[in-house]
Amino acid sequence: MIEVKERPKARSDSTNSPLRKIGIIGAGQMGSGIAHVAALAGFEVKLNDVSSDRLKAGIATINGNMARQVSRKRITEEERQAALKRIVPAEAFEAFGDCDLVIEAATEKEDVKRTIFSNLCPALKPDAIIGSNTSSISITRLGSSTDRPERFIGIHFMNPVPLMELVELIRGIATSDATFDTTKQFVAKLGKTIAVAEDFPAFIVNRILLPMINEAIYTLYEGVGNVEGIDTAMRLGAHHPMGPLELADFIGLDTCLSVMQVLHEGLADSKYRPCPLLVKYVEAGWLGRKTQRGFYDYRGEKPVPTR
């Protein structure tokens, strides 16, 4: 778990924000986290995923994480119960018909996102905003695949969403001022701090973070150090809360690879070439914590380095 300071209190008081109902596509790590903070901030939330089992798992995760916040006295039991009542499952996009904002938090693959948007748009009211939680893909390009590029914006939350204070906002070339301003109000009501990024590959955080992780993997690949040595060096030598390989496992090695591929293809610079070892781990299905194996093996009592 990444250690952070006490998160800013979400503003659940009355607001001038025109947004009331929020749809979220994807009930995984990111989508459930976004639903969590939106419900605590007073928004009605509709949560969608490809199966009812995934939806149930996402809501169970939210319940468990909120219970942990209650035990740590960050929220009250009454706030937890009220927030959970605001989250309802949406098994089809038609359920988003009355939503003011729908945030896509699906896997980091452009073809998947484009398919989602083409199926989503006919279900939405004309003035609904679409946000993408993409961590690297062009907002202009994604927006052009919708029927409302002026009402499309990048809303990139950090992981884990309930703890991390930052949200990157990214405007596409067509994103209107009204969409940007409304989204800023929404993010502020969540108690998050905004960093505005230009629409370049991987934006700000991942443009800096993922090449560092990729370089750590190259350091392992070239035999400069082993997993434990590299992570210990960066934790103690650079005072990072997690070593870069442990962090890669936390993010998901498939996501790390996707972001590096976007950087490499989008900027055409060899310094962004994904490390072959990262590619090999993803091909093996060793994606990190979510598959129980990555640069560490998580199947025992404590994580054990795999190299």
Domain, as residue range, for 253: 207-305
Are 79 and 151 members of one domain?
Answer: yes
Domain count, the chain: 2
Q: Give a yes or no: residue 8 inside a domain.
A: no
CA–CA separation, 147 and 168 (whole Å)? 23
Q: Please compute the mean of the pLDDT values over residues 97-120 and round it to a whole number.
A: 96
91 part of the active site: no
Q: Please compute the mean of the pLDDT values over residues 277-305 and round it to a whole number.
A: 97
138 part of the active site: no
Are 65 and 192 members of one domain?
Answer: yes
11 has pLDDT over 70 = no
113 has pLDDT over 90 = yes
Are 188 and 212 members of one domain?
Answer: no
Q: Give a yes or no: residue 13 inside a domain.
A: no
Q: Which of 165, 197, 229 is at the close of a domain?
A: 197
CA–CA separation, 281 and 290 (whole Å)? 13
Q: Which of 36, 132, 156, 246 is catalytic?
A: 156
119 part of the active site: no
Are 189 and 230 members of one domain?
Answer: no
206 part of the active site: yes
Q: Are 210 and 263 in contact (CB under 8 A)?
A: yes
Are 267 and 179 members of one domain?
Answer: no
Are 104 and 187 members of one domain?
Answer: yes
Q: What is the pLDDT of residues 79-88, one digit of tens each?
A: 999 999 999 9
pLDDT recorded at residue 14: 39
Q: Which of 32, 132, 135, 214 is catalytic?
A: 135
9 has pLDDT over 60 = no
Q: What is the pLDDT of residues 147-178, one digit of tens each?
A: 999 999 999 999 999 999 999 999 999 999 99
pLDDT recorded at residue 18: 80
Q: Please compute the mean of the pLDDT values over residues 34-50 and round it to a whole number.
A: 97
pLDDT bin (cut points 50, 70, 90) of residue 17 is low
Q: Give a yes or no: residue 1 inside a domain.
A: no
Q: Give a yes or no: residue 136 inside a domain.
A: yes
CA–CA separation, 242 and 250 (whole Å)? 10
Q: Please compute the mean of the pLDDT values over residues 11-31 and round it to a whole number.
A: 79
Q: Which of 168, 214, 246, 258 is catalytic?
A: 168
Copy the structure tokens of residue 15: 């607001």
Are 26 and 45 members of one domain?
Answer: yes
Are 152 and 253 members of one domain?
Answer: no
